[in-house]
Amino acid sequence: MKNIYGVTIKELEDYFTAKGEGKFKATQVFEWLYKKRITSFSNMRNVSKKTMQDLANDFVIEPLEIITKKSDVDVVKYLFHLSDDNKIEAVLMKHDYGNSLCISTQVGCNMGCHFCESGRLKKVRNLEVSEMVRQILAVEADLNIRISHLVLMGIGEPFDNYDNVISFIDIINTPKGLDLGSRHITISTCGIVPKIETFMKYDKQVNLAISLHAPNNEIRSSIMEINKAYPLEKLIPTIKKYVEVTKRRVTFEYIMLKGVNDSVQDANELSDLLRGINCYVNLIPYNETSHIEYKKSSQEQIMKFFDTLKKRGINVTIRREFGSKVNAACGQLRSNYEEA
């Protein structure tokens, strides 16, 4: 049976209509699920026994199991158990502007970025809609907090699970649901050009982040397999079109890898590549792992790179470092658990 947390409010309206009942019942159910956080259909006090029984016959309602969690200053890393015995991760980061959660969209990843731990264990399957929704619910229940910002950044490539991701966003963005504002949701992609073109037609103001990580094709192809399919000559014009169509700024994520992409020359080349695009660059200090040879750029080199971009007129930030003590690199907790 389908998990109720994977059903959009439109799908639930259609469900009740097919049974000859009013659409308003979908709103009632959503409020019980996402406002009052019931864990059993029998706890719905303003619906008929027949409706509760129908729901129990047609859907399941169950949370994700937390296998383990690790905490550090302002960060909590979760490992979840799925019903088919697979494992996924989520990371809660506490900022001055609120609680941000980075969730998984797949079990494993096929994008093959050489610096990424989650890509080391290949894609098993896409996550179902309910498995994405329940990551949020599980963290909020565990910490008794409200998630204010959401990032779809790993484990997995969100645009490789496009339809489920869009249904997921529709659920969490619904006012009667989790009511998470679309401008507080960010989808990060390594650059699947056809899906970016589809996404620019999406009617919600969800943020787009591009995992760029290199100023030219030579470096990018050496660390990101996706660049061989969609090189910068295809990716950058698509991003320019996205900005023009949506009137929204795009973020370029740039992991700082020692001796690979962090020179002043690289910063100058990146400035030339991005000139004229309504964007900002987010420099990310690399989270080193025991399985991958890449090393984090020094703080001095990161600041030289930052200053060069700044002087060249590029909006740039340096991401605050989180979770070096809690296996916070994408896929690292899952990888270590599987191997143990």
Is residue 156 classed as helix, strand or coil in its secondary structure?
coil
Determine the Cα–Cα distance for residues 64 and 137; give it in Å rounded to an integer.
9
Listed in sequence order, the residues at least 6 apart from 18 whose beta carbon sits closer than 8 Å to its beta carbon are none
**In this structure, are residues 104 and 154 in contact, taking their beta carbons and an 8 Å threshold?**
yes
Q: Report CA-CA distances (Å) from 38 to 30, 61, 101.
A: 10, 9, 22
Active site residue 89: yes
**φ, ψ dihedrals at 198, nearest 5°:** -70, -40
Catalytic residue, chosen from 116, 190, 279, 330, is 330
Quick check: is 330 catalytic? yes
Token code pair at residue 140: 């909020």
Helix (H) or strand (E) holding 269: helix 264-274
- Active-site hit among 89, 117, 128, 157: 89
Give the span between the Cα atoms of 84 and 107, in whole angstroms. Answer: 11
Contacts of 120 (CB under 8 A, 6+ apart): 291, 292, 331, 335
The three-class DSSP label of residue 168 is helix
User: What residues are labeled active site?
Assistant: 89, 330
